[in-house]
Each structure stands twice: as C-alpha cells, then as structure tokens.
Amino acid sequence: MSESTAPRGLGRMEGKVALVFGAGSSGHASGHTGWSNGSAASALYAREGARVVAVDLVPAAAEATRDIILKEGGEAIAASADATKSDDVAAVVGQALAAYGRIDVLHNNVGVTIMGGPLEISEESWRRGLDLNLTSAFLACKHVLPVMIEQGKGAVVNISSAAGAVVNEYPYASYYASKAGLNHFTRAMAIQYAKQGIRVNAIMPGIMDTPLIYSQISGQYGSVEDMVAARNARSPTGRMGDAWDVARAALFLASDEAKYVNGVILPVDGGLTCL
C-alpha cells in the first residue's frame, strides 16, 4: 500500500490541532508533482486524528493539501500567508483559533535554497534566504507561543536541514547559515519555554527526493537524471529519503509519545551527518 492511500492511523494526534506553515508543495507551480515535506506531514497528522490548518504562500498549494486530507476523511482548512510577514502570520493564527479554538502543534516547514556565496548572491537574496528559512520560524513562534502558554502545552516542530550541521557540495551560503541558526533557535526556545509545557524540536532532513530538488537544485547538474544518480550515491544507504521519512519523524515529535523529548535536532538522513 502506498503512502498516498494509507489508512487512518492509531489516533496519536486525536483532539489536537496542527498549524502547518509550508503545507503545500514547492512543485505545485513548476509541475514537479509529488509529496513535499509539508504536505506529507499535514496528511499524516490528519490520518492520526489532528485537525490541520494547512498554510502556504500559494493558495492553490494549501488548498491541494487540504483537499487530500478531506478526501481521506480528515478535517482541515487551507490558508494563505507570507510567513515572513508578521501581520500575515498573526492573521493565520487568528483563523486557526477561530476555526478550532486551540493550537497544539506548530510545524514550521517554510524554506528555500538560494545558490551562491557572498560574491555571487545579492544582499537582497541573502536576506530572503534568512527570512524564509529562519525569520519565518521566529514569527510563527512569536504569534503561536502565547496561545500554547495559555493552554499550558504545545509542541513546535521546525524543519531544518543537514546543511545546518555539515557542508556539502552546494554553494548555498544563506541556506547553511539560516539552517544552522534554526537549529540553535530551536534549542534556545526549548529551554526558555520548557517549564510552560512547550516542547521545541527540529528535524534535519538529509538527501531527500522531494519536489524542491527538481525546482531548486537540479540546475547544479547536467540533467535531472545526473542529479538523482549523484544524490542517491551520496547517501550512506545508496538512496535518497523521501517526504514520508520526515513526516513520520515529525509525527513522533509532535505527539505525546515524545512528551519528554525537548531541544532535539533529529537527523533524518540515512547516516549522512555521521560521515
């Protein structure tokens, strides 16, 4: 049975509300279809009983994820927001509260890879990378943490990258810097809010096969086939992971099964960061 037709789960998220930023697929507009980290996590949360608020910059991408959840018998609403704008984030938080009355899980999946080092990219591109990969998580926490503090409980899952811990062959300086910043931001928030019942963890995906690589990374290779072969070869397992590997890790961190897991930066990378 494929992940796209998987049945509802064990109810590990029953009664919870999950707010997912970056819930659409980066390939929605470019035509590179498939499950993204955000859409897979949203669907898995819903299969385990959560009510999902699927948020994306592109309304149609958020709606596509919502429609998948509804088709599977889950409950979800779609919302559009620029996660780098505080007013947009605040408005989406208000929509989530109006629809469901609480927010139990904040899932921060917004991000972008921008190729180039200090000599190649503009200051504007550098700041865009930092804003999308790091400031978006800061703004989401800024507006959601007060809700969780009032509830006395909540879980934040930040989607980082193995690039936040190791340097690979790609020349994306802003990505390295922002994902490393997201890792430490995660640790800092985990300690600061632990006594208020809030857990903050992050996942570091490694070499993954998601729509993002076809729209944002394939240009580093002679062809898409070259990219796939090279990325498979780089993984210690001999193959790339996929969005469901990340989603299953996110489900654990978001669920009460991880109630004593806090401040963890979890690699989901087939062992890549051990090298």
How does pLDDT run across 255-270, given as a tens digit for each residue?
A: 999 999 999 999 999 9
How does pLDDT run across 213-266, given as a tens digit for each residue?
A: 999 999 999 999 999 999 999 999 999 999 999 999 999 999 999 999 999 999
Q: Please, what is the average pLDDT of the chain? A: 95
For residue 120, give its domain range: 11-268
Within 10 A of 207 (CB to CB), how many other CB atoms are there?
21
Within 10 A of 43 (CB to CB), how many other CB atoms are there?
27
How does pLDDT run across 14-39, given as a tens digit for each residue?
A: 999 999 999 998 665 556 668 999 99
pTM beyond 0.85: the answer is yes
| In the block, residue with structure tokens 């654990």 | 252
Give the active site residues.
Answer: 175
User: Domain for residue 131, yes or no?
Assistant: yes
Residue range 156-171: average pLDDT?
Answer: 97
User: Domain for residue 155, yes or no?
Assistant: yes
63, 78 Cβ separation under 8 angstroms:
yes
The enclosing domain of 196 has a CATH number of 3.40.50.720
User: Domain for residue 149, yes or no?
Assistant: yes
Measured CA to CA in angstroms, residue 135 lies from 103, 127, 175, 249, 253 at distances of: 20, 10, 13, 23, 22
Token pair for residue 176?
Answer: 């390295």
- State the DSSP code for 167: -
Tally of domains within the chain:
1
Burial of 73 (0-12, 13-18, 19+ CB in 10 A): exposed
**How far is the C-alpha of 166 from the C-alpha of 153, rounded, in Å?**
33
